[in-house]
Amino acid sequence: MRTKSEARRNAILMAAGQIFHDQSFDGASMAQIAQSLGCSKATLYSYFESKEVLFYEVLMSAASAQMHDTFAAMESSSLPIGEALQAMGEQVISLLYSEEVMAVRRLLLSAAGRKADLGRACYDAGPAQFLEAMSALLKQYMDEGKLRAANPRVAALHLRALLESEWLDLFLFSTMQGFDQAFCKETATRATETFLAAYGVV
């Protein structure tokens, strides 16, 4: 089988990402993407079998680098529990509210309700893995006696919700004025303190 050019594949992902962003999933077409690249639709389909598959790959490529950095920080932290959660919280907020990931989330929100398989695939490749990594970290802290014993998955959901609590409306209603690092630190601090009040040990 002919080996596909990685450079060509990356060029398709970049062009498709821009068109999906500008036109939405429903408004974009494989013909538009092919035209923007100066290639045929047949060439495009030789790399990606459908618009849904291409859309999925755009979403995942946009978030993969940030996700990797956040997972690495979560797994390698040796700080005291409060400092570790604070540092992780800032990483999580920075990831979820970076321009790249917010664009991914907007694209997914616009399409996933009508594309259940796509929504599930994106969840499995992103949030599900993130939740698993966070749950494993919190379970480790529970086993070490740094957090009270509880369901680590539920605790991870609570922590993520706390970290997003002061950001989510800004994202949903498009009222963010750029990413504010100081606000990130402040909100991560409040989320960490609230989480430890619920899950910390006396």
Dump pLDDT digits (tens) for 175-187: 998 899 999 999 9
Q: What is the mean pLDDT of residues 4-31?
A: 88
Output the furthest CA–CA distance in the chain (Å, rounded). Answer: 65
- How many whole angstroms separate alpha carbon 19 and alpha carbon 161? 31
**Whole-angstrom Cα distance, residue 133 to residue 179?**
25
pTM, entire model:
0.77
Of 73 and 56, the one with more pLDDT: 56
Q: 59-93: per-residue pLDDT in tens?
A: 777 777 677 777 776 666 678 899 989 988 998 99
What residues are paired with 200 via a beta bridge? 147
User: Token pair for residue 112?
Assistant: 């996933």
Distances (CA, A) of 49 to 15, 25, 57: 16, 16, 11
Better-predicted residue by pLDDT, 157 or 68: 157
Q: Where are the beta strands (DSSP E) in the chain?
A: none
Residue-level pLDDT at 38: 93
4-12's contacts with Cβ under 8 Å and 24+ in sequence apart are: 4/46, 4/47, 8/47, 9/47, 11/37, 12/37, 12/44, 12/47, 12/48, 12/54
Q: What is the pLDDT of residues 126-137, one digit of tens each?
A: 788 889 989 998
Q: What are phi and psi of 53, to 5 degrees?
A: -65, -40
| The pair of three-digit structure tokens given for residue 66, joined into one six-digit string | 């940030």
Domains and CATH numbers, the chain: 1-49 (1.10.10.60), 62-199 (1.10.357.10)
Q: By percentage, how much of the chain surpasses pLDDT 90? A: 50
